[in-house]
Structure formats: C-alpha cells, structure tokens
Structure 1
C-alpha cells in the first residue's frame, strides 16, 4: 500500500465506522435541504454523490425526491449502501480518479472527501472527471473543511472512547497536509492509521477550479449557507458550473 492510498484501507475497516458513528446527520440533512432549495434543483435532477461512503447523504437526497447515484471506492461501504437501493437510488464502486461513463445534472462532493493525494495533478484530475461528468448547466457542490480555521484551532491530542475502544488521536499540519494519526487496541491487537487531507484554502481551491474551467458561482461558510469568512467559518463550500 502506498501512503497516498491510506483511505482505501482505513475506510474499509469496521473501526473507521465505529469512530465516526456519532456523526451529526442533522447537519448533513440541513445542508442537503438548504443547498437543493438554494439552487432550485428540479426534482428531475439526477445527482451523483461522490464519494458516498455508506450512502447516508444519498438516501436523504433521494428522500427529497431526487434520482441519486452514489459512488465510492470502498467496496464494503457500497455493499452496505446497496440495501437502500430503489428505482431512483443506486450505488456503485467508483474511484474518483477514473472518468465517469455517463453524465449527471449535479455532482456533490461532501464532508471533506477531497485532497487525499500527494500530487496536485491527481486532485485536478478528479475535478476534470467531475466537470466532464456534468451535463450542460449542471452544478458541482464542493464541501470541505476551512483549513485556516482548522490550523488556528488545531487540537493536537485527543482521546475518544467509542464501543469500548479507546482511540488516541494526534493531529499535525506538515508539508501541506493536515494529518490525523489514530491508534487504538481492538480485537487483540494494536492498530494505527493516518488520515491525510491536503491543506486547501480558498485561494488554492479557486486555482484548482480555474485550472479545469469551473466557474465558481457561490462561496458559503456553513450549512446554513452564510457567507464564507476564512477566520470563523467551519466549512468551505463552493458551488460551481
């Protein structure tokens, strides 16, 4: 395994889902409602949720009346998500670095699911694939952490106990990456994983978007769609065409 593909292994473990099992669905759903209303997406819109994880956002978007396809690299996550499939909701294993074989009316990239790669060219390739996978006048919704705020408020050490597993978490920002080292003892052995997300601020993301020919139409700083403020906003949300 190369270090750049840390996510393939970590996202496929049961421990990843244990550590994050209390993620706030309310926020996610609020954001989906707000953004689809703001963009006035007709119910006929076919949305690609990429990467979709275990499908929680896809399921909710589908419940709002949209046709949704969820794509993710993790076979285990897709296997889990397939139980929710219906006539207007489907899931498939897809690596964002590979081009799509069809086009969509909207592509959503949610909850900091970007910037995993050492080489900028790979991140740009993903954006190119997304752009090529969008129908004319389609929207790309990109939801990322606010790197500047993360940097200012970095919690370097933390311990979380979930399902009787003690997760030791250490964070650092090194060589342009936000690193989260996670170690724990479970099922009779020690485990350790590192999440790596590129330090991408508004300036860097704007340069990426410009490179592939996206036009940014809106910049928000939270799931209530307030304006982005690099000091105080929790998220960096870009809408592009």
Structure 2
C-alpha cells in the first residue's frame, strides 16, 4: 500500500458525491431481496431490535423499519447519517465508528451489509466482531455481506478498469492487488458535471476460514455461507459472500 493511502481511508471517503452515486446505483428490488433474506435466515420476530453497522445512507435500516422492526443505524459518514436521518426519523441513526456499538446485549440481530467488512485488518475485524457479540443477545442473529473474501477476489484476478454511470454521475474505477499485504486497492474517480472526487478504497482480503475463526472466537456459532439472497451455497469464485451466524 502506498504511503499516501491511509488505513483509515473510510473516514474521509464517503462524502456526498460517492454516497449519492451508491444511493442511486442500487435498485429497490435488490434492497427488498436482501431484507427478505435477513428476515428469513434469522427468523426475525415482529418488532425485532436490529443494529445496522455500518448503515451508510440507511438503505437497509429504513427498509427494516418500514417492516416494523426497531433499528439502530451506525455510520462514520456525517453526510450519510444526515441523509438517513432526513429519510427515516423513526430509525435511531448514530454518527460513530462501526465498532462503537451499544454493549448491552439486547439486540435481536446485527447486520453488516454493502461490502463494508473489509475496511479493517484481522485485528480490527476481531474488534468489530467482539463489538457485535457484546451488542447481540444470546441466540440473536448476524448477517454479513462481503465481496472481498479471498475465495471471491483471487481466482482469476486481473485488476482492470471499469466505468459506471447513474444519471449525471459517472465513476471510473481501476483495481490492483497488494500481494504483500493482502489488500485490494480500488481507485475511484467520481464525476458530476465539473465536479470530481478521486479517492482510493482499501479492502483487506481475508479467507472464509479466517473469518469463521474470528467469529467463533467472538462467540458466534451456526455459521452458514451463501452467495446470494436466494440462499445459493457459497463456493470458490462466488462473487459475493453472505454469511449468517448466531450468538452463542
């Protein structure tokens, strides 16, 4: 990783232009399918208490609250939290690091969606799992959505460049892999008219086995790996890992 790229890149990356791109990019039917999966896989009772960390602009928090659940959303992006609060006053949105969670063991479930798990190295990930374990009650559930597992990233990795657009916002992205540090670096250039934002996202790449070991050490059991909200099994080269677990 270059000296100009901070390990805490996520603390400054999520400003209005990147956030607005992702708010537009995900269709409502995808959110509905993911929330269906969360409710079904965790067998959530009506009015369950759920913590969404990080919650971003509140995509899942708002959808779960609309179904009657009591949701706390935590995120470090002031812009995202401000947007979410305006969109959903019935959700308890909090501006904080995703590891700074209520440690009262009273929540029925926790979710980590949108490929946010890879922000931390193994130590930081262990700290995050410990925070989740302190938040979720015994028998409560966990869903993690992670696109950066080694089994997803590494088979056939070639880097490359992509261009995506939604409305008047365009993003150009190029990717490289830091072998020595097991990092995927994604270099983004967001554009809207004359406005541009360039920044790099640094994703720590962990194996599924390592993730499961860290989860068990934190007190989670009954771990299951899927590749989609349809419940398809996760296999080598699956592009997406959706992991569920229970607090022991």
TM-score range, shorter chain: 0.7 to 0.9
Which deviates more from structure 2 when the two are superposed, residues 56-65 or residues 34-43? 34-43
Q: Partner residue of 1:209?
A: 215
User: Pick from 64, 77, 81: which aligns with 1:61?
Assistant: 64
SS of the residue corresponding to residue 225 of structure 1 reads: coil
- The count of residues paired between Structure 1 and Structure 2 equals 239
1:48-87 paired onto structure 2 within 5 Å: 48-87=51-90
| Contact 2:163–2:170 under 8 Å retained in 1 | yes
Report the Cα offset of residue 219 of structure 1.
Answer: 2.0
Q: Partner residue of 2:161?
A: 157
Report the Cα offset of residue 227 of structure 1.
Answer: 1.8
Deviations 1:96-151 (A, max 9, x none): 2324254311111112111212x421111111011011112111111111542333
Question: 5+ unaligned residues in a row in structure 2: which ranges?
Answer: none
Using the size of structure 1 for normalisation, the TM-score is 0.87
| Contact 2:143–2:242 under 8 Å retained in 1 | no
Question: 1:187–1:215: structure 2 CA closer, same or farther, 3 Å change rule?
Answer: same
Separation of aligned partners in 2, 1:98 and 1:43: 26
Which deviates more from structure 2 when the two are superposed, residues 55-64 or residues 224-233? 224-233
| Contact 2:212–2:223 under 8 Å retained in 1 | no
CA RMSD between the two structures: 2.4
Report the Cα offset of residue 18 of structure 1.
Answer: 2.3
Deviations 1:67-102 (A, max 9, x none): 111111111111111123345x22111212324254
Q: Partner residue of 2:235?
A: 229
Question: 1:163–1:72: structure 2 CA closer, same or farther, 3 Å change rule?
Answer: same
Question: 5+ unaligned residues in a row in structure 1: which ranges?
Answer: none
Using the size of structure 2 for normalisation, the TM-score is 0.85
Question: 1:173–1:25: structure 2 CA closer, same or farther, 3 Å change rule?
Answer: farther
